[in-house]
Structure 1
Amino acid sequence: MLDVTVLKEWLHRDLSSREKLLLILGAFDEPAKLDDIRDRAIQAGFRIPKKWNLSDILGKSGGMALRLPAGWELSQSGKAHLQAMGVGLANSAAVRIAVDLRGHLDKIKNATTRAFVEEAINCYEAGLHRSAIVMSWIAAVDVLYHEIATHHLLAFNKEAKAVNVKWKDAVNADGLSRMGESDFLERLVPIGVIGKNVKEELQKALKLRNGCGHPNSLKTGPNMVASHIEMLLLNVFETFSS
């Protein structure tokens, strides 16, 4: 069963009338009458348009909504459809965490970065934990590359050569990718781009990303993924995305 907080997040997305009504039904643990459906939508900040014929829309849902004497309810296929959309009916707590993570998105100024992070959160909502970790890390490194290439390239190359005389100066973000990601993070501290504590957290995130990028026995859960994404949001995306 979806709580109103989660329902509110989903109802304000660009979804079809059928999917929105199925979502509202997902917020009931018993059959709901049409007036109940309208009231629950209002509680979630969404007023169902008067032109919507609720019985017709639900009746043409292909069996995903069932009409019972006491009202409408989701069928098993309806629940499966919502879960395929990424709605965690069985784990609304995880989806509430995703709602909190989405609250950070408006603080990301760069539209491309924001879209990439949103896709990572979509993976999280769908239970694709490894994908969410890998995608969010790739986006974070891209943000850091462009930050250095735009504002700190001279200082970075100088520091890189001080550590490795064979380093060939990078002239753009692509050139920075020639350096291993762990070494890249180490170079950012002396030039003042990030602090030591942030670097240590990013190194942990890199280690987790590497563990998720290859078949192995590493197990991940929603809280681990949420912590990973939130750390990147606070220390990379909101700080450097412009």
Structure 2
Amino acid sequence: MKLVEYLAPLKNASQQARILATMYFLEATAGRRQLTTGDVRKALSDARVTNLKSWNLTARLQQAGQFVHAEGSGATRTWELTESGRAAVAAFAPPLPPVSRGIERQNEAAALRARVAKITDAETRAFASEAVDCLEIGAHRAAIVFMWVAAVHEIQERVWAASTPSAITAAVQSHNPRAKMCKKRDDLSEYNEELLMQLAHDLGVIDKNEKAELLKALGLRNSSGHPNKLRPGEYRARAHIEDIISMLF
């Protein structure tokens, strides 16, 4: 189904209703949750909605209340339907045809990529992007490993930025007196990842709950990165990626 078909029964609906329906359609069919007003306007234009030049999309979205969530400002401000917004559109708009699992997987990957794109550190973002690539093609163990590498790199960056070499050395040697002295950023790679989590907690980079959840993620990474009978499924791998993104980014 094309957007022009989906909006046809709504031709007499309000501008706001058609804007929300367009966002709902793009999310369901293309996995595009966060949209600028430019994105929505282009979709409406492609669907040949009349008198579109007179529409003030920002005003209509601002008036949508709890149905939308906004992030950012200016031309780059993005809008996303909330759960109540999705429910509202589903109540007045025509039903969408069932989506195949393959398309759903592509949509889910697109939504994850939108979140990954917001990661500021380029190296961390590259690892996380590879994790999503692996998830989309069904390489679940690789997805888990790559996302954990992204998490470790991010925590190393935060530890280095939040402290000094002498303080890092003192903290890590309080748990392992034989641990290498930290003199430069790359020395953090010499510490095993469980010790790194403890170090990050000691220095206030992560809290107690985040440490506990990250150690669980480390356990899954270890099981996925070594020869054994574990075969993590799609949902477990995606949850691993989503959990780390939610905690760290």
Give the TM-score range, shorter chain.
0.5 to 0.7
Aligned equivalent of 1:210, options 216, 222, 225:
222
Say whether the 8 Å CA contact 2:156–2:188 is kept in structure 1: yes
Contact 1:185 1:199 in 2 (8 A): yes
Q: Per the alignment, do residues 101 and 89 of structure 1 end up closer, same or farther by CA in structure 2, a change over 3 Å counting?
A: same
Structure 2 Cα separation of the partners of residues 43 and 106 of structure 1:
22
1:109 aligns with 2:120: yes
Aligned-residue Cα RMSD (Å) equals 3.0
The answer to whether structure 1 residue 189 and structure 2 residue 201 are counterparts is yes
Q: Secondary structure of 2:226's match? A: coil
Q: Kindly state the Cα deviation for residue 5 of structure 1 after the two structures are TM-superposed.
A: 3.7
- Contact 1:6–1:99 (CA under 8 A) maintained in structure 2: no
- The answer for the alignment partner of 1:145 in structure 2 is 156
Q: Tell me the equivalent position of 2:237.
A: 225
Is residue 228 of structure 2 the alignment partner of residue 200 of structure 1?
A: no
Return 5+ residue gaps in structure 1 as ranges: 11-41, 48-87
- The residue that corresponds to 1:158 in the other structure is 170
8 Å contact from structure 2 (residues 159, 203) kept in 1:
no
Q: TM-score, normalised by structure 1?
A: 0.59
Distance in 2 separating the partners of 1:174 and 1:214: 25
Partner residue of 1:170? Answer: 182
**Cα offset for 1:45?**
7.6
The percent of aligned pairs where both chains have the same amino acid is 34
Q: Is the 8 A contact 1:101 1:121 kept in 2?
A: yes
**Cα displacement string for residues 176-218 of structure 1 (whole angstroms, at most 9, x for unaligned residues):** 1222111211122122111111001110111111111122111
Aligned length: 167
For structure 2, the 5+ residue unaligned runs are 2-24, 33-40, 47-98
Write the letter of the residue equivalent to 2:124. T
Q: Deviations over 1:7-34 (max 9, x none)?
A: 5359xxxxxxxxxxxxxxxxxxxxxxxx
TM-superposed CA distance for 1:43, in Å, is 10
Question: Structure 1's 224 and 44: CA in aligned 2 closer, same or farther, altered over 3 A?
Answer: farther
Runs of 4+ residues over 6 Å off in structure 1: 42-46
> Higher helix share goes to which structure?
2
> Structure 2: how far apart are the matches of 1:182 and 1:193?
14
